Amino acid sequence: MAQKSSLSSKRFTVDRLLSKLGVASRGTSQEWIRAGRVQVNGRVIRDPATWVLWPKDALAVDDKSIKDSAKRFILFYKPKGVITTHSDEKDRKTIFDVLPTDLGYLHAVGRLDQATSGLLLLTNDSTLSSYLTDPRHKVLRTYLVSVRGEFTEGQAKDATIGVVEEGERLQCHSVKIQKSSGRESHLEVVLVQGKNREIRRLFKALGHEVTRLRRIQYGPFKLEELEPGAWREIPIADVRKALRL
């Protein structure tokens, strides 16, 4: 028996529906719609507030049909040098150029900047991604960080206290010094909330340039044996169990 859509016979604005289906964030969906990339019943629309009846109405992005597909959760080792987005106006390589196209529409849970490698979570379950990124849930992220110069215990304490940059507080949950010398220091850094380029900005404020940054864990999910560009899928039931949902 075919699985009945959880969104059956409901009206949504197109941008909200794309977000609910896990195709893209609401903001990204609005950009796609205004750019003429979204079709409803074969007709291009440009107003994100357009109402649709789902799943009765046919929805497509870039002429690819969108369906209320089974929920998926992927652990991906993002290589350095690719960006976390579906498309790029500068024609830079994205994570979706690396991942197989048959995975379907997935969105990243948060982002890693172009120069950062490591664990990136991808899903089409907007409820899960919202939980993982909500600061109220304090889902920890762990990084291995290399910086120029000698990093001291005093600076590690300063990093946990935090600094204010342009009105925004940047701080680590914890910093463990693995190796420190006058030339370079290696650290294990844990964040509670992954703000935009938070580690790079924080350590720059403390007088250290980040030369290497790799995320190895996000909540209970670990990079472990994955190689750059590789991925593995975790059943949604196991994901919810790991998060105690």
The CA distance from 105 to 22, in Å, is 7
- For residue 199, the SS3 value is helix
Cα–Cα separations (whole angstroms), residue 4 to 1, 54, 128:
9, 12, 20
* Phi, psi for 121 (deg, rounded to 5): -95, 135
DSSP state letter for 75 = E
d(CA 192, CA 143): 11
CA distance 31 to 42: 19
Catalytic residues: 113
| CA–CA gap between residue 150 and residue 180 (Å, rounded) | 5
